[in-house]
Each structure stands twice: as structure tokens, then as C-alpha cells.
Amino acid sequence: MARIPGITDRNQLDEAAQPIFDEIVGSRGSVRGPFPMLLHSPEMARRVAHLGTYLRFEGVLDAYTREFAVLVTCATFNCEFEWAAHSPQAREVGVSEQSIQAVRDSKPDGLSADDRLLYDLVKETLNDHRISDATFTRARARFSDSALMELVGTVGYYTLLACVLNGFEVKPE
């Protein structure tokens, strides 16, 4: 059970915040995941939702790259909720079971060169708080500047979600 009750009914919000609830439902179908917690700060929830919508559905990253980076971020933070949500999505976009397990176990040696680049970039960003020159050079050879920006931004976005979900002990259903 989460540390505080989530907001899952628009009537739990004051009248001014109810349109934010409606926006989230409109873009995601329901209020779920980190959003019941985020709605304790409705404007923050709105802004997080907008960024997530852009990164997931409107950005330049292909689904494989995005989902692989999300998995590495989730695994790094031991975020059970996001792992449960995104490992099936990763499978759907072609991430192999072997790669998913390698990320889960933090054993990247058998990853393809492209997957290893993503793994290294995400791990360096999260663990070292910067990207090494060697990894950045490899990433610039593979991605456009805008894709690289969105890749790092995606790591930051899912870091925020992992902090909310882990901090408030939100578990997968």
C-alpha cells in the first residue's frame, strides 16, 4: 500500500484542479501509475503529464530506444512499478528477453552494440551524473542532437517518476 492515499477520483480535488484530473484521464485513459500521487500537487501533475506525453508519443526517439532507456532507468532505481509497466512494452517493440534480463540483472556484457551504448549512456547519466567522452562520442555517431537530447531527457523524466513511485511506495497491482 502506498504511503499516502492516491487521488483517483476527480471529486477528491478542489474545483480549480478538477480540469487537470480530466486532462490526465483524456491523455492516458485513467489516472494511474505515478499520477494518483502527483495529483497531490495538481499543477506538477499537469506539467509532468505534458512532458510524458511528448516524450512517449510525440518525440523523435523510436519506441525501441525509448523503452530500452526506460528499462535501464527503472532497473537502476529498482522501481518495481515502472518495470512492471514497461518490460511488456519493451517486448512489444522488439527488445529481446535476453536484453531485458541483462538489464534487470545489471549484466550488460551480452548486449548488442546498440543496446550496450544505450545501457552505458543511461548508467553513466544516473550513476556518474555525466556521460563520459567515449560514450558521448558513440552516441553522437548514432543519434541526432535532438534525439540525444530527448534520450537524456527521457532518462530524467523516468528518474522523476521512479522517485515519486519509490518514495511513496507505489507498487504494481
H-run or E-run covering 169: none
Q: What number is the average pLDDT over the span 48-76?
A: 97
- CATH-assigned architecture of domain 63-165: Up-down Bundle (1.20)
Query: How distant is the alpha carbon of residue 161 from its chain centre?
Result: 7
CA distance 7 to 152: 30
Using pLDDT thresholds of 50, 70 and 90, give the confidence band for residue 173. confident
pTM, whole model, 2 decimals?
0.95
| Short-list 171, 155, 151, 154, CA closest to 34 | 171
pLDDT tens digits along 7-61: 999 999 999 999 999 999 999 999 999 999 999 999 999 999 999 999 999 999 9
Q: Which of 57, 51, 56, 50 is nearest to 24 (CA)?
A: 50
**Nine-digit cell at 64?**
525501441
Domain boundaries, the chain: 14-58, 63-165
